[in-house]
Amino acid sequence: MKKSEIHSDDLYPHPSNSDLDVFDLKENSTIIVSTSYHKEITGSMAFSFIKNSLETLKDIGFIEIPGAFELPLTIKLIIEKYKPKQVLALGCIIKGDTKHDEYLASTVINGLRNLSLEYKIPIINGVLTTDNLQQAIDRAGKKYDKGRNFANASLAMHDIVRKIK
81-114 per-position pLDDT tens digit: 999 999 999 999 999 999 999 999 999 999 999 9
Determine the Cα–Cα distance for residues 138 and 69; give it in Å rounded to an integer: 23
| Whole-structure pTM value | 0.92
Active site residues: 100
36-73 per-position pLDDT tens digit: 999 999 999 999 999 999 888 878 999 999 999 999 99
CB distance 47 to 20 below 8 Å: yes
* CA torsion angle 51 52 56 59 (round to 10): -40
- Exposed / middle / buried, residue 46 (Cβ in 10 Å: 0-12, 13-18, 19+): buried
For domain 15-164, the CATH superfamily is Lumazine/riboflavin synthase (3.40.50.960)
Determine the Cα–Cα distance for residues 97 and 60; give it in Å rounded to an integer: 37
